[in-house]
Amino acid sequence: MNPEKVVFGFFIVLALTLNFGFFLGDIDNPEHHHLYELFAVIVVNIVATILKFGDRTQLGAVLLATSLVAVMQLLAAAFVWAFSIHVSGTGLTPTVMSSIVSLSGGAMLANVISVVLLVIETVMLRR
């Protein structure tokens, strides 16, 4: 067993599961989506992205691209959250919360693609 692959797979799957946990709930209800959970999703996705930089294969490039998409979507969600509270002063209205959760949903889709590609790569490995 390759410990590097275990850590790599762990962070990819953790990114997906944390993102799913944040995404789950009423799309417009701020009580169903916690700020610290979004922060954890962003941190884990950044770590997963950093781990993907070492792979020089074509599949590795696609994995990196999906990770970058997820990080960009999550950072946009965090920006919308911070902007609505600290700059515009509107707070977490249903419209704002829907935007935040929708952006995290896009990141979750990118994470699903990463996990599917990881499973495909694992199945294609020959001993």
Give residue-wise pLDDT tens across range 96-113: 999 999 999 999 999 999
Collapsed DSSP state (helix, strand, coil) of residue 60? helix
- C-alpha to C-alpha distance for 9 and 63, rounded to whole angstroms: 12
At residue 68, the pLDDT reads 96
Mean pLDDT value of segment 31-59? 91
Contact status, residue 66 vs residue 30, Cβ threshold 8 Å? no
pTM of the model: 0.91
Stretch 64-81: mean pLDDT: 96
The span from the CA of 86 to the CA of 73, in Å, is 20
52/7 Cα distance (integer angstroms): 11
- What pLDDT is recorded for position 57? 85
Give the separation between CA 63 and CA 88, rounded to whole angstroms: 36
Residues in CB range of 55: below 8 A, 6 or more apart? 61, 63, 64
pLDDT above 90 as % of the chain: 71
| Residue 122 confidence (pLDDT) above 80 | yes
Instruction: Give yes or no for residue 95 having a pLDDT over 80.
Output: yes
Which residue type sits at 2?
N
pLDDT band at 127 (very low <50, low <70, confident <90, very high): low
Mean pLDDT of 86-91: 89
Angle at 48 between CA 77 and CA 92, to 5 degrees: 15
